[in-house]
Amino acid sequence: MNDLRQLRHFVALAEYGHFARAAEAVNLSQPALSRSIQALEASLGCSLLDRAPRQISLTAHGRLVLEHARRLLDGSRALHSAVTQLDNLDSGELRLGAGPYPAARLVPHALGRFASQHPGVRVQLCLENWHTLRQRLLDDAIELFVADVREFDGDPMLDIVPLRRHTGTLFCRPGHPLLEQDQVRLGDLARFALAGTQLPVEVARAIGELAGNEKPLGIECDNFMVLKAVVAESDVVSMAPWDVVAEDVLTGRLAVLEPLSNVQTSSAYGVVSHAARSLSPAARAMRELLLEEDSRFPAD
């Protein structure tokens, strides 16, 4: 089996694309890094790099090895963290993922409590859409994530703990022209840009009916904090589950639009882990805190 140090050196070189910068990142001299890469190539019996005077690029073999090297290194870190945490939660690492909406309220609340209770555990939080988070989980790059799970129904590779549902809400800035109307009409809504995160098929269909457009989003962004800022500073309209805009609406920073009565959407969050993996103590503690925080928010 190849030395994990050689794989680590190769991943650094692939990411930096330059021997000098990669050598500095892994605390090696440039000749030592070059020897490590050559030893890895010799053990695998193939060339991993196309070397040019100013930069390097990966061969087809190199791209394949990079993919597997990252998985092996992620697995090694997960193993070390799990062993370190076996008897206590005074140290170790938790790699957590979150979709845009859970990252706006639920995850920060739970993560703040986790950090207070276990300050010695280092946390890496990855913010992505649900498709990317699933792949990161299966690659062992993260151990747990919270996101929309409606497209994971029946997935045998995932263990899913559903969370409470929250009504979908259209929101805008206070003083938006649409607030002068008792109810949003299709033609009225179509006059304004609609912003949102990447949508599950079910939600996209419902919003499309509301907007009268098969591709309703004029602005797509998976960072919900950016979306809120755009809405607050313009006539752009956006949508979100009620729980992530409730505080802004109650304090007057945002306003809710009354949508068409025959179009309803809701959140479908879940806490997701790998069905074939045991959770580390840190991941188990984080999951419990997520479930506690979920139960604390008032029902719609």
List, for residues 198-245, the tens digit of each pLDDT value. 877 766 666 666 555 666 678 888 889 999 999 999 999 988 899 999
List CB contacts of 85: < 8 A, sequence separation 6 or more.
91, 92, 121, 280, 281, 282
Residue 298 — pLDDT band, cuts 50, 70, 90? confident
3 CB neighbour count, 10 Å cutoff:
12
Q: pLDDT category, 55, cuts 50, 70, 90? A: confident
CATH 3.40.190.10 domain residues, the chain = 89-165+268-296, 168-257
Q: Residues of the chain with pLDDT > 90: what percent?
A: 36
**Mean pLDDT of all residues in 69-89:** 72
Buried b (16+ CB within 10 A) or exposed e, 241-269: bbbbbbebeeeeebbebebeeebebbbbb
pLDDT-wise least confident of 44-58, 155-169, 271-285: 44-58
Would you say the C-alpha torsion 13, 76, 125, 100 has a positive or negative sign?
A: positive
Our CA angle for 33, 37, 39, nearest 5°, is 115
Q: What is the mean pLDDT of residues 245-270?
A: 81
Give me the pLDDT at residue 1, please.
43
Q: Say what the pTM is.
A: 0.67
From 3.40.190.10, 1.10.274.30, 3.30.470.10, 3.30.1360.120, which CATH number describes the 168-257 domain? 3.40.190.10
157-196: pLDDT as tens digits: 999 999 999 988 889 999 999 888 777 676 677 788 888 8
Q: Is pLDDT above 70 for 40?
A: yes
- 2 pLDDT above the threshold of 90: no
What is the structure's pLDDT at 72? 83
Q: What's the pLDDT at 254? A: 94
**89-165+268-296 classified as CATH 3.40.190.10:** yes
- The answer to whether the CB of 259 falls within 8 A of the CB of 171 is no
Walk across the sheet containing 158-162 and list its strands: 122-127, 93-98, 144-148, 269-274, 158-162
Q: Which residue has the higher pLDDT, 261 or 132?
A: 132
User: Stretch 119-147: mean pLDDT, rounded?
Assistant: 92
What is the CATH number assigned to the segment(s) 4-80? 1.10.10.10
Residue 71: the pLDDT is 82
**How far are the Cα atoms of 197, 295, 299 from residue 165, in angstroms, in the given order?**
18, 11, 9
Distance of alpha carbon 187 from alpha carbon 211, whole angstroms? 8
pLDDT for 105 equals 92
Q: What is the pLDDT of residue 157?
A: 94
Of 156, 149, 116, nearest in space to 130 by CA: 149
